[in-house]
C-alpha cells in the first residue's frame, strides 16, 4: 500500500504541474485503474490532489508494523513534500 500511495502522490503532483488539457484524462484513467474506487474518487475530487495523495500515503505509513518513533520520522520527511 505504501508503494501505491507513493505512486499516487508522484502522479498527482505531475498532474498538478501539467496543463489540464494535456494530462487530465490520462490521470483519471490511471488512478482509476490502480487505486480502489473510493481512494481514486477522493483524490480526483480533492481541491489539491497532491495533498490528498500525501494524506493517503501518511495513513498507509501509519498502518505499517513498525515502532512509532520511526513512523514519526517518516512523517516528518513527508511534511517536507507538503511544504514545497
Summary mean pLDDT of the chain:
91
**Would you give the end-to-end CA distance of the chain in angstroms?**
24
Task: Give the tens place of pLDDT for each residue, 61-82.
Answer: 989 899 988 988 887 887 776 6
Task: Give the tens place of pLDDT for each residue, 35-61.
Answer: 999 999 999 999 999 999 999 999 999
pLDDT tops 70 at residue 83: no
Instruction: Please give the grid coordinates belonging to residue 1.
Output: 500500500
Task: Give the tens place of pLDDT for each residue, 17-40.
Answer: 999 889 999 999 999 999 999 999
DSSP 67: -
Amino acid at each position: 500500500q505504501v508503494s501505491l500511495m507513493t505512486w499516487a502522490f508522484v502522479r498527482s503532483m505531475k498532474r498538478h504541474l501539467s496543463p489540464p488539457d494535456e494530462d487530465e484524462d490520462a490521470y483519471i484513467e490511471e488512478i482509476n485503474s490502480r487505486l480502489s474506487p473510493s481512494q481514486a474518487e477522493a483524490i480526483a475530487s480533492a481541491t489539491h490532489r497532491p495533498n490528498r495523495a500525501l494524506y493517503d500515503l501518511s495513513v498507509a505509513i501509519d498502518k505499517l508494523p513498525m515502532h512509532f518513533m520511526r513512523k514519526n520520522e517518516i512523517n516528518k520527511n513527508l511534511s517536507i513534500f507538503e511544504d514545497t
